[in-house]
Amino acid sequence: SLPSKATIIEVGPRDGLQNEKKFVPTHVKIQFISLLKEAGLSEIELTSFVSPKWVPQMKDAQQVIQAFSLQQPTNNRHIVLVPNEQGLTKALEENCQSVALFIGVSNSFNQHNINKTTAEALHQQLPLMEKLKERNAYVRTCISTSFYCPYEGKINPDKTVELCAHFVEAGVTELSIADTIGMANPKDVFTLFSALKRAFPTVLLNAHFHDTRGVAMANIYACLQAGVTRFDSSAGGIGGCPFAKGATGNIATEDLIFMLDEMGVQTNVNREKILEAVSYIEPYLSHPVSSKQYRLYQLA
Ligand code: HMG
Ligand code: MG
């Protein structure tokens, strides 16, 4: 049987925009986020504190956060992604209460993405948990290349569970398990998420699927069957990691909501309003939005 409710964590403003070559003006990012919030999304990755040399699109992280820092009702999570102490310091200076750490299972991916091996990245990130706990911050860890790495190929699921365990032991209460380049299949997804549920019964498990090969929706269905109820998605299906060869966008929020709505799985997100947010951001993107629901919306 399927869960009666699911939660969507919108990653469009971060994962969606980070790969855009042309700078999206800060006020446009802010308006995009505002529209997403109006659609009922209460958990949103707003931006990331990463090196502006590596990801110039995110160089306005501070201004983006400041636009929302006064609106922090407890049921809203404004998440900011950080890879290291420098990023965390900036986030805490802005009083961010929700932080996402990120790391890949694969060494080669981490070397491309954050210039560290997996062991070095762990060594750098685990101590950050102390500061986060002091602040009573909400922490998620995004686990990239959980299934497949663009450089190393298939990842052994035991290695993914093992990496997650380090963060759970350090106090992380939420894991976002990512298929960075959209290579996972529903069978492996069911197996890994079932193993994670057994290993970490009290941890919130999120699924983060890029839809590079069109299998993301089937993978989400496999997650629902494994009892997973939290999904990262991006409005318009925009996005991708600049340091993962062949990565494309996340599963589109509006397509995901359509499927969940039709199956009676409640999200409390307004699909029409998501589509309005997508049509607002589209002119600022270097490519047309290709989600199924957006196509229909344009035809209507
Ligand atoms: P590095 O060059 O090894 O770092 O980069 P460094 O410590 O030697 O510092 C180099 C420069 O960066 C210095 O500036 C630092 O001040 C600055 P300089 O002296 O040259 O002017 N710096 C920073 N600036 C701002 N914020 C920071 C920060 N840290 C250092 N936090 C680093 C290491 C991690 C910084 C770099 O590799 C980086 O920024 N990588 C970003 C990677 C990224 O954003 N990837 C996309 C997000 S992850 C993702 O999309 C996957 C996910 O969606 C899940 C999935 O789908 O798999 C989450
Ligand atoms: Mg991603």
Model pLDDT for residues 38-55, shown as the tens digit of each residue: 999 999 999 999 999 999
Query: Is 149 considered catalytic here?
Result: no
Q: Which residues in the chain come in under a pLDDT of 70?
A: 70-75
Residue 211, ligand 1, Cβ within 6 A = no
Residue 84, ligand 1, Cβ within 6 A = yes
> What pLDDT is recorded for position 208?
98
Residue 241, ligand 1, Cβ within 6 A = yes
Please name the residue ranges forming H helices in 70-170.
85-93, 107-114, 118-125, 128-134, 157-169
Yes or no: say if 79 and 46 are a contact pair by the CB < 8 Å rule. yes
> What pLDDT is recorded for position 76?
86
> What pLDDT is recorded for position 26?
98
> What pLDDT is recorded for position 244?
86
Measured between alpha carbons, how far apart are the two ends of the chain, in Å? Answer: 34
Residue nearest atom 43 in ligand 1 by C-alpha distance: 113
Ligand 1: atom nearest CA of 116 is 3
Q: How far is ligand 2, taken at its centre, from the CA of residue 2, in Å?
A: 25
Residue nearest atom 22 in ligand 1 by C-alpha distance: 51
> What pLDDT is recorded for position 71?
62
> What pLDDT is recorded for position 72?
58
Residues 6 or more apart in contact with residue 128 via CB below 8 angstroms: 82, 84, 85, 88, 101
> What pLDDT is recorded for position 83?
98
**Residue 48 CA: which ligand is closest?**
1
The Cα angle at residue 59 between residues 25 and 105, in degrees rounded to 5? 120
Residue 208, ligand 1, Cβ within 6 A = yes
> What pLDDT is recorded for position 242?
85
